[in-house]
Amino acid sequence: MKRHLPFIIVALVGLITLASGTMLYRAKRVALSPISKVHRGLEKRGDKSAHILGKPDAPVTLEEFGDFECPPCGNLAEPINQLERDYRGRLCVIFHNFPLANHQHAREAALAAEAAGLQGRFWQMHDVLYREQALWSKAPDVRSVFNAYAGTVGANVVQFQKDMDSDDVKKRIAADQQQGAVLGVSTTPTIFINDRMVPVPSLNPAGLRAAIDAALKEKARP
């Protein structure tokens, strides 16, 4: 019996850890609530499809290349949502996935966002991933967390799991990264306002608001 005691202890610890993790994920799933926003989804902009928040024909476009595991991107996520609300009808927000190689779960998070997007839940998943970044970025089983999030935002979880590994989702991320590389994107967040890259010192709510105001004034000139 003494010889087997260490193995029994290890097995018990493993079961307790698994149970605790399951409870945490379930608790988080209950705590999150779906976010419903108008004008959200995959729409056409020019000859390309894009994830657009707001009116596609708004006079000012804020285009972001972001990484869901990037803390500065997370810090800007809700302020950018607020800007779209404040400039309702005058600002269009577009998001492109640009997961960085040095972030362990960034690519899987991008896959999760795009998989949710195939069910019309991209922006809801976008918001949850940024809001819960501190949790899932350290999770030992990130797929389980993302599956819980998919259920929370109203997606069909079985389909979501299939879509995360689909070629369509992988191609969308590859296309975003290729577009970013062509534009000189190498880090996140990289933001363009009416096709002009916003300098790093202005990547804050006040700086973005000033850039949007300047773009609106420029559009208003005869």
Residue 130, helix vs strand vs coil? helix
CATH of the domain at 169: 3.40.30.10
Report if residue 215 sits inside a domain: yes
Q: Which long-range contacts (CB under 8 A, 24 or more apart) does 27-31 make?
A: 28/132, 28/135, 28/145, 28/148, 29/148, 29/149, 29/151, 29/152
Does any domain span residue 17? no
Whole-number Å distance between alpha carbons of 222 and 101? 45
Please report whether residue 2 resides in a domain. no
Q: Which of 67, 69, 71, 46 is nearest to 56 (CA)?
A: 46
Q: Which two tokens stand for residue 8?
A: 């029994």
Q: Is residue 102 part of a domain?
A: yes
Domain of 95, in residue numbers: 32-220
Whether 20 maps to a domain, the answer reads no
Q: Which two tokens stand for residue 40?
A: 């959200």
Q: Is residue 18 part of a domain?
A: no
Does 57 fall in a domain? yes
Q: Is residue 139 part of a domain?
A: yes
Cα-Cα-Cα-Cα dihedral of 205, 208, 210, 215, to 10°?
-150
State how many domains the chain has.
1
Per-residue pLDDT of the chain (222 residues; tens, 9 = 90+): 445 444 443 344 343 344 334 433 443 433 333 333 333 333 333 334 689 999 999 999 999 999 999 999 999 999 999 999 999 999 999 999 999 999 999 999 999 999 999 999 999 999 999 999 999 999 999 999 999 999 999 999 999 999 999 999 999 999 999 999 999 999 999 999 999 999 999 999 999 999 999 999 999 888
